[in-house]
């Protein structure tokens, strides 16, 4: 089925699919959280092909397999490095142990084993959920983290409004992370462990960025802007000059139209007429409408916020407060 659920648990409230065990008390450690649900680790082994002379090893490839039932999770090149379930838990507990001023604490909320173990997902409960005043769409109650053993992604996490209990809610959370730009990502490369210290900075920025954005967004949402101010913003953000080629001019006009379409869409429902609504529309256009040379470029832009138009839009909007 589309939920692709194998086993797991949820705290207090049953999942929609009714397949997860319901815990009356939340676990306090990773060992408690995984016990009875994730009592296995992935391991790698050689890949062979059958020939007339017998079995021959295929160089450069490895299989990723569960050590409890020998189920093959994926076939990967040798450059792929497994992040074990134990290491995944260590990173989660690092997140839970962060002490950032203004940020609520974390508690375990769900553990989901999906696609026969190809994906392991955890939702952490924010003890004090918060939202941006005036924006009903931006209330964060969870911090979701998952790791993949299928080669379709790495270890990823970030805040969101969805409690991950299945593949569907994981995809929804993933899309929300990309849209809001709060996610961190650790790839399954050979030196991923060496990158954990770098990833910690990204995690802190991801978690601490919520509080920083909440403060800025609260100021932006209180600042009312009239149509003439928004028009001025668009002209400064996406300028059109006499020395532009017809192609460049047309591209700018297209981007301007995309901004107005986003501003008048459900994206800005409840926040139109505010500086925050202008900023949200600009961010959506940057993430989804501006051209990208490749899927990797677009993904990097969304995940890391590395886009000059986005930075300039936020800088211009911030001048209103």
Question: How many CB atoms are located within 10 Å of the residue 43 CB?
Answer: 15
pLDDT at 233: 95
Beta-ladder partners of 106: 126
Range of weakest confidence among 21-30, 54-63, 197-206, 283-292:
197-206
Instruction: Say how far apart CA 254 and CA 212 lie, in whole Å.
Output: 32
pLDDT at 293: 42
pLDDT at 201: 61
Instruction: Say how far apart CA 122 and CA 165 lie, in whole Å.
Output: 8
Tell me the average pLDDT of the chain.
Answer: 82
pLDDT at 6: 94
Range of weakest confidence among 51-60, 245-254, 301-310:
301-310
- 3-state SS assignment for residue 35: coil
Please report, for the chain, the start and end positions of each structural domain, with discontinuous segments joined by +.
Answer: 5-39+81-212, 223-318
pTM for the model stands at 0.64
Compute the average pLDDT of residues 47-57.
90
- Band of residue 292 on the pLDDT scale cut at 50, 70, 90: very low
pLDDT above 90 (res 81)? no
- In this prediction, what percent of the chain has a pLDDT beyond 90? 43
pLDDT at 227: 93
Written as one string, the DSSP assignment of 91-138 is HHHHHHT---TTPPPEEEEEEEEEGGGTEEEEEEEEEEEEE-TT-TT-
Compute the average pLDDT of residues 36-44.
96
Determine the angle formed by the axes of helices 167-180 and 295-304, rounding to 10 degrees: 80
Encode pLDDT of 120-148 as tens digits. 999 998 877 655 555 555 566 788 999 99
- Band of residue 318 on the pLDDT scale cut at 50, 70, 90: confident
Q: What Å distances lie between residue 155 and 133, 138, 144, 203, CA to CA? A: 32, 24, 11, 12
Written as one string, the DSSP assignment of 295-308 is HHHHHHHHHH---H
Encode pLDDT of 249-273 as tens digits. 998 999 999 999 989 887 688 889 9
Encode pLDDT of 6-25 as tens digits. 999 999 999 988 999 999 99
Encode pLDDT of 229-246 as tens digits. 999 999 999 999 999 999
pLDDT at 141: 76
Cβ(303)–Cβ(181) under 8 Å? yes
pLDDT at 188: 75
pLDDT above 50 (res 115)? yes
């Amino acid at each position: 089925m589309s939920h692709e659920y194998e086993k797991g648990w949820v705290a207090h409230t049953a999942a929609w699919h009714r397949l997860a065990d319901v815990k009356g008390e939340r676990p306090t450690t990773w060992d408690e959280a995984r016990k009875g649900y994730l009592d296995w680790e992935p391991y790698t082994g050689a890949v062979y092909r059958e020939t007339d002379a017998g079995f021959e090893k295929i160089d450069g490839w490895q299989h990723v397999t569960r050590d409890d039932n020998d189920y093959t999770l994926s076939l990967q090149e040798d450059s792929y490095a497994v992040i074990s379930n134990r290491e995944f838990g260590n990173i989660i507990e690092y997140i839970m142990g962060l002490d950032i001023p203004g940020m609520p604490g974390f508690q375990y909320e769900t553990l989901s084993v999906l696609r026969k173990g190809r994906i392991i997902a955890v939702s952490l409960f924010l003890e004090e959920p918060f939202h941006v005043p005036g924006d009903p769409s931006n209330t964060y109650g969870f911090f979701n983290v998952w790791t993949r053993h299928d080669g379709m992604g790495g270890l990823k996490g970030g805040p969101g409004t969805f409690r991950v209990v299945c593949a569907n809610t994981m995809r929804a959370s993933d899309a929300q992370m990309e849209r809001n730009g709060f996610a961190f990502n650790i790839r399954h490369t050979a030196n991923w462990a060496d990158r954990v210290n770098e990833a910690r900075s990204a995690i802190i920025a991801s978690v601490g960025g919520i509080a920083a954005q909440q403060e800025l967004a609260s100021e932006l949402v209180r600042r009312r802007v009239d149509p003439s101010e928004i028009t001025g913003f668009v002209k400064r953000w996406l300028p059109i000059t006499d020395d532009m080629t017809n192609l460049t001019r047309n591209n700018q006009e297209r981007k301007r139209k995309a901004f107005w379409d986003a501003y008048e869409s459900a994206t800005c429902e409840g926040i139109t007429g505010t500086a925050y609504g202008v900023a949200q529309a600009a961010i959506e256009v940057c993430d989804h409408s501006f051209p990208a040379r490749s899927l990797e470029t677009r993904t990097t832009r969304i995940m890391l916020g590395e886009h000059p138009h986005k930075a300039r839009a936020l800088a211009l909007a911030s001048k209103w407060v």
